[in-house]
Amino acid sequence: MGLGTTLTGLVIGTAGVIVVVWPSTGLSAHLLISTFALAGVGIGFAVVPFQILLQEQTPEAMTGRVFGTVGSVMTASNIMGPVVGGFMVTSFGVVPAFVSSGILLSLLGLIYLMKHKGEKSDLNGSIAAKTMIAGD
């Protein structure tokens, strides 16, 4: 998931740079299309494992709560994303918004990779979830 997030961030940042370096040539369009294809791969590396881990690690008794929370957070991010993006573009311009978003997304992915390097995940649910179930 961290690799996919990092790859997507690099693509977004690179797209901003490509538009500045080659603004009116046909080469920039081809580079953008190929880099956005990489972004699709990166999104796949981030979203698919997240959904799989969510289903595998959620205890059966917590399914409604966990999926409800994840759905709410995803909906909130879908609503707030364009608002924050519009504010960034209006305030700083298109290229700085793309480059800063790409850098921040890449840093987020790298932090995730460094944090989880060498860690093995427990596929039986978290301790907090097990405690909540035992308390019910």
Cα–Cα distance for residue pair 4/45, rounded to 1 Å: 5
Structure tokens at 19: 């538009």
* 69-107: b (≥16 Cβ within 10 Å) or e: eeeeeeeeeeeeeeeeeeebeeeeeeeebbbebbeebbe
- Rounded Cα distance between 122 and 20, Å, is 45
Write out the chain's pLDDT in tens, 136 residues. 888 888 888 888 888 887 777 776 667 777 788 888 888 888 888 888 888 888 888 898 898 999 999 999 989 999 998 999 899 999 999 889 988 988 998 998 899 888 877 665 554 545 444 444 554 4
pLDDT of 10 reads 85
- pLDDT given at position 128: 46
Q: What pLDDT does residue 40 have? A: 85
DSSP state of 123: T
Query: Do residues 89 and 7 make contact, with C-beta atoms less than 8 angstroms apart?
Result: no
Mind giving me the DSSP string for 70-86?
HHHHHHHHHHHHHHHHH
